Chains A and B, each alone.
Chain A
């Protein structure tokens, strides 16, 4: 294993989950795997943080969940983005974009 930091940037886990679920409904491990795949293992998602975040997001009304049998005939809790969740994702993404642009500009700044 290398020493690269794979922690999810603080405060962005919610956005990552919402974004992943905007692609399609999936279960907890599916979300973790998808985040790791898409970010090419830049972020590794901790199971505890993920499941707690799912509880929180669901309580906030951004996700709905439902126990379903998956294609490989195992039971899993499938999460789906709600309309409110979609709105939340848009605002969080826009916010993130604004801030990361600002940071990039600052880092590129030259004397």
Chain B
């Protein structure tokens, strides 16, 4: 430290901690949107650092599609217990049962878009005024224009053309009753940054990210995990492959890649030579060129 400059990971960390503390200072009832994926795990880890020796002052909000990887749920429960934080679960199944949303039909049906209603319902029910997410600007072109503090109107919608200017590190979280904010502390991190940091800090992640043997089906150019929710087409065959997942979403749509990377070190090495974007294996983003943009405007993560 005799040189008095930060390396890029330390600078990203410092920026994220600053944003998390700003959320705490400016909002009444903020939560972390926790999916069990590596980005929300990272945000939770950064929140632990930001408020040490206090406990993380945010509840974790999990929007549960009902189509989970069992490992991800187990990981979530263990982490909540370890950190001593409150867990709020918004259930998509409940939204379906209550007739708030209708299930999609067909082979490629997913509950991805249904999450929006459940999320917004949870935000309203629990009077959440800021939902902290692990969204990153490098993920997708609609996310490239997202602010650290992103304003949502009282219908939970994002208006990309009318965003508040965000200068220096001055974050304006002022809002009217009924409106809320999304905060994105790791906006400036890339997938590679996330992996390098997870490795450096030796942060525990669900085993799904590491190479393991799993029953899968080849569909839409990717390995879709076999599960009770999967309906096989006549020409499809279940095979066992050594795979790992680059992102974790709904089990019905999250594709894995063949890999031998079973440690964080090996993942970092593999990701650095990877020639496909991580969301390339997510069929929710492949639906159209503006799939993410459209969902975001409606109130998606």
Q: A and B: real partners?
A: no
Q: Give A residues with C-beta under 8 Å from B.
A: none
Q: Give B residues with C-beta under 8 Å from A.
A: none
